[in-house]
Structures are given as structure tokens and as C-alpha cells.
Amino acid sequence: MKRALVLSVLASALAFSQTGGFDILISGARVFDGSGSAWFYADIGIRGDTIAAVGPLGDATATVRIDGRGMVAAPGFIEIHSHGRRGIFQTPTAENYLREGVTTIIEGPDGSSPLPIDSFRDQIANTPISPAHR
């Protein structure tokens, strides 16, 4: 087990050293990874819109560095009972959800979806909405 962990860490370090720095580096955040495991402190390296590395990245280069000490980093939250379609076409960035960490909205689970549904789905598909809409 220890051997596998060491190899995994070495492989990650090698991959990181070959790919260069990050666009964003969040350092020292308290990370809740969504697995149900205990939280841990880590640095988070982001390239483009992808989390490229999580771990001790203190010497890494980055275009933007964010001090994450005293802050929590977590995966996006899913809003399972939303009435998010109200106003979504007027404000498709849905900043009210994103600022709370919601990245996926499940709309109309209580039967309140608009009818006919096809025209609503087409409108959603043709609107650049920030959170995922299900």
C-alpha cells in the first residue's frame, strides 16, 4: 500500500513538472473532496477550467495566486429542488447560485415544469447558462 502511494505521488509530481505552471493556484485551503472522507489542507492547481492538481504545490508557478487559508474548497453543490427557471433567461449567469457554490440545478422536480416541455428545453439548449441545468 505504501509503495503504491509513493508511486502515485511520484507519478503526480513527474506529470506536474512536465506540464508547467497553473493559471490559478489556491494555496492552503481546507478541502472537502465530496467523497465522505475527512477534510484536509491542500493547494489546488487549475489550468483553464480544469483542476489539474491537488496537494502540496507551494513551489508551483501560477498566473493568479489565491491565499486559501481560512477558506473551504469543495466540489460544486447540486440544487436538487430548484425553481431556477424563474429568471434564468434574464440572468443566465445565475450568479445567485454560483456564489453559493451551486453548479448544477435540477429544475421542476415537484411537477412545476413548463408545458409543453420541448420548447422550454430548446430555449435552455440555446441559452448559454452558467450552471448545468437538468
φ, ψ of residue 85 in degrees (nearest 5): -70, -20
Residue 52 pLDDT greater than 80, yes or no: yes
Of the segments 13-27, 45-59, 84-98, 113-127, which one has the largest average pLDDT value?
Answer: 45-59
2-73 CATH, one of 2.60.40.10, 2.30.40.10, 3.50.50.60, 3.30.365.10: 2.30.40.10
Q: In the chain, pLDDT over 70 holds for what percent of residues?
A: 82
Q: Which residues contact 62 (CB under 8 A, 6 or more apart)?
A: 21, 22, 23, 24, 25, 45
- Stretch(es) of the chain classified as CATH 2.30.40.10: 2-73
Mean pLDDT of 67-86: 85
Q: How many CB atoms lie within 10 A of CB 126?
A: 8
Residue 112 pLDDT greater than 80, yes or no: no
Q: pLDDT tier at 3 (50, 70, 90 boundaries)?
A: very low
Mean pLDDT of 60-72: 94
Rounded CA separation 28/54 (Å): 11
| pTM summary value | 0.57
What average pLDDT does the chain have? 79
Q: How far apart are the first and last CA of the chain?
A: 40
